[in-house]
Amino acid sequence: MRGINLKKFFLYSLIASVGISAFLGIVVIIFGNFGEFESKVLLTSVVITVTSILGLASGAYLETGQSRALPLAGIVLSVISAGMWLMIVWAWRDQNSNFVKSLMSVTILATAFSHLSLLSLAKLDRRFKWSYYAAHALIWTLAGFLIWLVWTIENDISDLAGRIIGVLSIAVAAVTVATPIFHKLSNSGYTDEEIDAEIEKLKLKIQSLEKQRSRAPESE
């Protein structure tokens, strides 16, 4: 039940944030006035939108009951990340590098947990199970590398680091796209035609049994 409530909460938050963003866009177009307050409200709605998307992914997996640690971590980290972003939007005064680094680290982790929660919704056969472990390995490698860069790189990212990020990102994207395909291929249930044929067989069997039962008193 908790998973369902969380999904509804994040869904309503997403709808509200998108509505606010659309309203502010219309106001700017009509009146042409977009000050600091409006900018903060718009950024707040963007933060809520992203948090709601991450929360929906984790909440959907939590609802299945297959795991609790992975989706709960995604939800908690998403909320923490949202709170930190809102602090920057509304109460940012001094440039604390450690706070910014912590913010980026929490955001990366929240995205990783939510991404894996979404991929974990797929039901895979044994032949495709490797993609689940590959997704974990790739996503955590990319997340760990990005967090390492956040805390160690002071200036521009080197060409090698950029290439590593590019390769890992492409690999993660490939596994993400392939997972729903593997999920579809893993569906070993009957097709609609096979189900209809099986139903017809069962109907004929039931009719045959009913005829036998109706003749039973006559034979006695």
Compute how many other C-beta atoms are within 10 angstroms of the C-beta atom of residue 94. Answer: 5
Mean pLDDT across the stretch 5-32? 72
How far is the C-alpha of 119 from the C-alpha of 126, rounded, in Å? 16
Distance of CA 159 to the CA centre of its chain: 31
Q: Reply yes or no on whether the pLDDT at 109 is more than 90.
A: yes
206 inside domain: no
44 residue type, one letter: T
9-13, 60-64, 112-116: which has the minimum mean pLDDT?
A: 9-13
Q: List all residues 6 or more positions away from 10 whose beta carbon is below 8 Å from its beta carbon.
A: 51, 52, 53, 55, 56, 59
First-to-last C-alpha distance (Å) of the chain = 56
pLDDT at position 94 is: 66
Cα 105 to Cα 77, 169, 208: the distances in Å are 10, 17, 68
Residue 75 lies in a domain: yes
Q: What pLDDT, on a 0 to 100 scale, did the predictor assign at position 96? A: 67
Question: Which residue has better confidence, 138 or 208?
Answer: 138
Poorest-pLDDT segment among 92-106, 140-154, 160-174: 92-106
Quote the CA–CA distance of 145 and 164 in Å, as a whole number. 9
Is there a domain that residue 204 lies in?
A: no
With respect to residue 10, please indicate whether it lies within any of the assigned structural domains: yes
- CA–CA separation, 192 vs 112, rounded Å? 37
Residue 145 counted as domain residue: no
Q: Which of 29-38, 66-75, 165-174 has the highest mean pLDDT?
A: 165-174
Residue 174 lies in a domain: no
Tell me, yes or no, whether 67 lies in a domain.
yes
Residues 6+ away with beta carbon under 8 Å from 28: 34, 38
What value does the mean pLDDT take over residues 38-48? 82
Domain count, the chain: 1
Domain interval for residue 4? 1-121
- Rounded to whole angstroms, how far apart are CA atoms 160 and 162? 5
Report how far residue 21's alpha carbon sits from residue 41's, in angstroms, rounded to the nearest whole number.
8
pLDDT one-digit tens code per residue, 167-196: 999 999 999 999 998 888 886 555 556 667
